[in-house]
Amino acid sequence: MNRKQWTILLAGIILFGLSELFPPWVYEDENTSVRRSAGYHLFNSPPKLKFPAEMRAIFSLGPNDPTKFMWVHEDGLRLYGQRLLLIVLTPGLILAFSNRRSLAKVVFASFFLVVGLGFSGLYVLHVWAMW
């Protein structure tokens, strides 16, 4: 492996570790099933629920709407999306930056990168839909 490949591998491992240490969290309203991002926090310390007025603002609720059925939990779909992106893009980039390119390496690199771009699009759509 050359220097670029080692850099990609190291970056992939570090990003994967960070995504496991700081998973995405989500606020969810059980009455309406609406979900809003709560950001990234340490895996064992979820963000706290905010005051009712702030939660109403986050969920665009009226001043008399109840907030007692809101809770916070890990955003499993977003976390799995991050994992898939890193697991697919890292080997694709490692193969793409190989010094000796063979037809098999080009085919596998192209496959991994196309699948990774597809997952990236779905991930961006998921994050965008939550805002």
List strand residue ranges (DSSP E) for 41-103, in order.
70-74
**Residue 130 domain-assigned (yes or no):** yes
Q: Please, which residues have CB within 8 angstroms of residue 71's CB and are 6 or more apart in sequence?
A: 27, 28, 30, 49
Residue 41 DSSP one-character state: -
**Residue 5 domain-assigned (yes or no):** no
pLDDT interval class at 41 (50, 70, 90): very high
Structural domains counted in the chain: 1
* Domain limits for position 85: 76-131
The greatest distance separating any two alpha carbons of the chain, rounded to the nearest whole angstrom, comes to 66
**Residue 89 domain-assigned (yes or no):** yes
**Residue 110 domain-assigned (yes or no):** yes
Q: Does the pTM exceed 0.85?
A: no
Place of tokens 């190291």: 10
**Residue 98 domain-assigned (yes or no):** yes
46's tokens: 């979820």
> What is the structure's pLDDT at 59?
78
**Residue 2 domain-assigned (yes or no):** no
Does residue 31 surpass a pLDDT of 90? Answer: no
